[in-house]
Chains A and B, each alone.
Chain A
Amino acid sequence: MDVKRRNFLKIAGLSAVAGLGASSAFTQLLKGNALASEEGAGGGETAAGHGAPEQGGHQEAETAFQYGMVIDIPKFAANKGLAEKCINACHYEHNVPDYGNPKDEIKWIWVDDYEHSFPDASQYKRNAGLNDLPVLLTCNHCANPPCVRACPTQATFKNDKGVVIMDFHRCIGCRFCMAACPYGARSFNWRNPREQYANGNYKFFKHGLNPNYPTRMRGVVEKCNFCPERLAVGKPPACVEATGDTKAMVFGNINDPNSEIAKVLNANFTIQRNSAAGTKPSVFYII
């Protein structure tokens, strides 16, 4: 009896220790969560009323600065070839390889139909023609990004402008972020993108090599980064520039009420992809 009692006390003690450890781990977790969405925090007006439903007591503090994008789908439908122009501009700007097969495919921005872009939106008695619209898809630079939460090395992180960035040199290629992203925004370098012909030309850069942006090595994840290298010198992202003065894409700080994008968001009904996931996407669509 005595021995059993002693054993029981030992176990009880150990469970208590384990319990303590678990609770502190939990606060750590919550902290990490907040960090992911609060970087560069401090006040700022909200652009509420667009997209993500209010989230009760779990609303994160808005970052002062959050780059976002409004994509005006009818304008893309009216300007045939505009979407392709955006895609080409982006994929050239960032040396995105093209292997010519879907298995190895890498894409930062692409077109899909309404049904598969917004599968959670009602497709029931959908009006004719809706599914023929070219919906331009890219990383949503979520205010609450699941990919940043999943990454075990902080190789993907949110910068002080609210942009979700990839550090190609830190990424270990575990692809947890790809499983975590609800938007399929992430691609993986399944093979070496830098492969060259004997004459020194790169095999997979369809538009030639852009010397102003680094190429990647195999085995890392990549995705749209809202062109921080262009923003730094006062230029808009490559895709936005490609739309010219059609206003098919509006880019800016969605948390600044005086920005052009905030005014567009205020004046139009916009939707977001899978807003029910609570990720607060920063890309908005006018349908």
Chain B
Amino acid sequence: MLEKALVGSNKYWAWIFFLLGVITIGGLFYLYQFNYGLGATGMSRDVSWGIYIAQFTFMVGVAAGGVMLVLPYYIHDFKAFGKITILGEFMAIAAVAMCIMFITADLGQPMRIMNVLLHPTPHSMLFWDMIVLNGYLFLNAICGWVILNSHNKGVHYPHWVKPFIYLSIPWAFSIHTVTAFLYCGLPGRHFWLTAILAPRFLASAFAAGPSLLVLIAMVLKRVANFDAGDKAFQKLGTIITYAALANFFFLGLEFFVAYYSRIPGHMHTLDYLFWGLDGHNNLVLPMRFSLTIGLIATTMLLFPQIKRNEGTFALSCAMLFLSLWIDKGVGMVLGGFVPNPFDRVTEYYPTVIEIGISLAVWAAGALILTILYKIAISVQAKEA
């Protein structure tokens, strides 16, 4: 089926070469970082993880978000998701690939990455994260590819795929739970040391992932003549709304625990993120912006008229996605480091190198997504 990605309009090829261009520039930046060391980034002794790990965490969520299509379609037989479930599975593949790239970009000694397999360490959450992420990549690749291949041949998919489909559902929850465990099991950092971190991660993932999918599906409607169907869009809108409500409810709980208990360690990071701490307030504006547009978008989604109008629906999804990206792709990781456990604040500024490499990973994810979607849409177009 790969050959279907090799035929396309001029616009398709322009987009592909644009992405390749971004990847090449980012690749050169990575070469520089590889030779100089991670000192090429803005990270420091206090802020020892930066936007690479923050983006990684966010993308795990986007990957897990794919399950919000797989679950209704395969468990509840929700037929309206028939056309776009494959898009959810392929989005998960691209997102997990991005996760692996972000992790690799963040390693001080990337050539030694296989040490994780050579010296398996079950008491390290990173070991389990490797297992669940690679497992999820494998499951989605199997399910997506085999089902699409059957479509292409005009036959029903083989029965042996079913167990893999069912397994991929709890597995989606596991990837984001284990990713939360990376943070919430560390004794010195109060901001992350919360049992609600995994549920928060899942709620934001189930809002952000489907939001991104809605936006992509709307683009595909215009550029690829692919219509997911109004019923599918409306159902996704409902899923996004509930997940967003859960997300902001959980965030409210964090605020209550911190500010009602008045335990300094619990308040420090929230102080830093939303009000500024000891004169340091780099993230105050982005975090307040994130919270504001997130709440507005969630409120908008509660109105059926807004959800039914394509323009306003797209706007609310875009606002929500941006809100959750700032919250998790920036604030969550930096918040745990910038006010350090010793009541000191060390600000972090990502460098051009770091941003360039991150953009290249996003471009690489977009390239994988484009190729997979091109194949999927070509197959479905042939079928119709």
Interface residues of A (CB under 8 A from B): 7, 10-11, 14-15, 18, 25, 28-29, 31-33, 35-36, 102-107, 112, 115-117, 119-120, 146, 149-155, 170-176, 178-184, 187-192, 217-221, 274, 277-279
> In the complex the two chains form, is B342's CB within 8 Å of A188's CB?
no
> In the complex the two chains form, is B341's CB within 8 Å of A182's CB?
yes
A133 to B325, CA, bound (A): 44
A105 to B38, CA, bound (A): 13
Nearest-CB residue, chain B, relative to A11: B166
A178 to B346, CA, bound (A): 15
In the complex with contacts A146-B187, A182-B187, A189-B37, A219-B109 CB distance below 8 A = yes
In the complex with contacts A14-B163, A119-B343, A172-B113, A152-B108 CB distance below 8 A = no
A181: chain B residues within 8 A (beta carbon): 188
> In the complex the two chains form, is A179's CB within 8 Å of B113's CB?
no
In the complex with contacts A116-B342, A170-B115, A184-B45, A218-B108 CB distance below 8 A = yes
B42: chain A residues within 8 A (beta carbon): 103
Q: Closest Cβ of chain A: how far from B73's Cβ, in Å?
A: 13
In the complex with contacts A10-B163, A10-B166, A179-B44 CB distance below 8 A = no
B162 sits at the interface (CB 8 A): yes
> In the complex the two chains form, is B109's CB within 8 Å of A146's CB?
no
A151: chain B residues within 8 A (beta carbon): 121, 124
A216 to B43, CA, bound (A): 19
In the complex with contacts A14-B163, A15-B170, A149-B124, A172-B115 CB distance below 8 A = yes
Q: Closest Cβ of chain A: how far from B202's Cβ, in Å?
A: 17
Total of A-B residue pairs, C-beta within 8 Å: 173
Out of B126, B162, B337, which one reaches A174, CB within 8 Å? B126
A221: chain B residues within 8 A (beta carbon): 108
Q: Give a binary string over B329-363; 1 marks a CB under 8 Å from any A CB, 0 the rest.
A: 00000001100111110100000000000000000
A128 to B124, CA, bound (A): 44
List 18 additional contacts besides A102-B45, A218-B38, A277-B188; criterion CB under 8 Å: A10-B166, A14-B167, A29-B123, A119-B341, A150-B186, A152-B115, A153-B115, A155-B115, A170-B115, A173-B108, A174-B106, A174-B108, A175-B49, A179-B48, A184-B340, A184-B342, A190-B44, A219-B37
B267 sits at the interface (CB 8 A): no
B336: chain A residues within 8 A (beta carbon): 179
Nearest-CB residue, chain A, relative to B42: A103
> In the complex the two chains form, is B112's CB within 8 Å of A172's CB?
yes
B303 sits at the interface (CB 8 A): no
> In the complex the two chains form, is B188's CB within 8 Å of A183's CB?
yes
B107 sits at the interface (CB 8 A): yes
> In the complex the two chains form, is B342's CB within 8 Å of A102's CB?
no
> In the complex the two chains form, is B43's CB within 8 Å of A190's CB?
yes
Out of B39, B75, B118, B265, which one reaches A190, CB within 8 Å? B39
B271 sits at the interface (CB 8 A): no
A29 to B185, CA, bound (A): 13
B108: chain A residues within 8 A (beta carbon): 171-175, 188-189, 218-221
> Which of B38, B107, B346 lies at the interface centre, i.e. has the most chain A CB atoms within 10 A of its CB?
B38
Nearest-CB residue, chain A, relative to B127: A152
Out of B43, B110, B125, B170, which one reaches A18, CB within 8 Å? B170
A128 to B188, CA, bound (A): 28
Q: Closest Cβ of chain A: how far from B157's Cβ, in Å?
A: 15
Nearest-CB residue, chain A, relative to B112: A172
B37: chain A residues within 8 A (beta carbon): 189-192, 218-219
In the complex with contacts A175-B48, A191-B36, A152-B342 CB distance below 8 A = no
> In the complex the two chains form, is A187's CB within 8 Å of B45's CB?
yes
> In the complex the two chains form, is B126's CB within 8 Å of A152's CB?
yes
Out of B48, B121, B186, B187, which one reaches A188, CB within 8 Å? B48
A119 to B342, CA, bound (A): 6
A15: chain B residues within 8 A (beta carbon): 170
Q: Closest Cβ of chain A: how far from B54's Cβ, in Å?
A: 13
> In the complex the two chains form, is A179's CB within 8 Å of B163's CB?
no
B122 sits at the interface (CB 8 A): yes
Nearest-CB residue, chain B, relative to A27: B122
> Which of A116, A184, A217 lies at the interface centre, i.e. has the most chain B CB atoms within 10 A of its CB?
A184
> Which of A102, A217, A219, A278 lies at the interface centre, i.e. has the most chain B CB atoms within 10 A of its CB?
A219
B106: chain A residues within 8 A (beta carbon): 174-175
B222: chain A residues within 8 A (beta carbon): none
Out of B118, B128, B182, B188, which one reaches A176, CB within 8 Å? B182
A192: chain B residues within 8 A (beta carbon): 36-37
A11 to B343, CA, bound (A): 49
B11: chain A residues within 8 A (beta carbon): none
A32 to B125, CA, bound (A): 11
B39: chain A residues within 8 A (beta carbon): 103-104, 190-191, 218
Q: Which 8 A-B pairs have the closest CB atoms?
A: A173-B108, A32-B123, A182-B188, A219-B108, A190-B39, A191-B39, A218-B37, A152-B126
B44: chain A residues within 8 A (beta carbon): 102-105, 190
A31 to B37, CA, bound (A): 35
A191 to B45, CA, bound (A): 12
B189: chain A residues within 8 A (beta carbon): 179, 182
A-B contact pairs, 21 of them (CB 8 A): A7-B75, A10-B162, A29-B122, A32-B121, A116-B342, A152-B130, A153-B115, A153-B116, A154-B121, A155-B115, A171-B108, A172-B109, A173-B108, A175-B108, A179-B49, A182-B189, A184-B342, A217-B109, A219-B107, A221-B108, A279-B187
> In the complex the two chains form, is B113's CB within 8 Å of A188's CB?
no
A188 to B106, CA, bound (A): 12
A32: chain B residues within 8 A (beta carbon): 121-124
A103: chain B residues within 8 A (beta carbon): 39, 42, 44-45
A184 to B122, CA, bound (A): 24
B122: chain A residues within 8 A (beta carbon): 25, 28-29, 31-32
In the complex with contacts A171-B109, A191-B36, A191-B37, A184-B123 CB distance below 8 A = no
